């Protein structure tokens, strides 16, 4: 049994892992995202294609991940943002 995850109002919960789904082969990989920046490209471990963000997205996690990049999660939660994501 695990205790329920604490949700504190002062510190928005950021999902640091995102499941990337390759649009070419459908391969899924759980990746750990940098918490203060966006990852622009990522090589698929299934077919080897280098994933790039879709137009308007700041990183591969925003385009193909189950969670957007941490800076975007922070921005959506209303927290002040001082990272390096250029789309915010």
Residues that bind Zn ion (CB under 5 A): 22, 24-25, 27, 44, 46-47
Q: Return the number of the residue (45 or 76) whose C-beta is nearest Zn ion.
A: 45
Round to whole Å and give the CA distance between 29 and 8. Answer: 29
The CA dihedral of 56, 58, 61, 65, to the nearest 10 degrees, is: -20
Nearest distance in Å: CB 85, Zn ion: 25
Q: Return the number of the residue (27 or 67) whose C-beta is nearest Zn ion.
A: 27
Round to whole Å and give the CA distance between 85 and 12. Answer: 18
Nearest distance in Å: CB 56, Zn ion: 22
Nearest distance in Å: CB 45, Zn ion: 8
């Amino acid at each position: 049994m695990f205790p329920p995850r604490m949700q504190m109002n002062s510190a928005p919960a950021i999902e640091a892992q995102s499941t990337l789904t390759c649009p070419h082969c459908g391969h899924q990989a759980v990746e750990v995202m940098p918490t203060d920046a966006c990852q622009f490209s990522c090589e698929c471990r299934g077919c080897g294609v280098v994933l790039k963000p879709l137009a308007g997205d700041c990183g591969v996690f925003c385009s193909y991940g189950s969670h957007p990049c941490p800076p975007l999660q922070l921005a959506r939660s209303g927290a002040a943002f001082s990272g390096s994501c250029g789309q915010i």
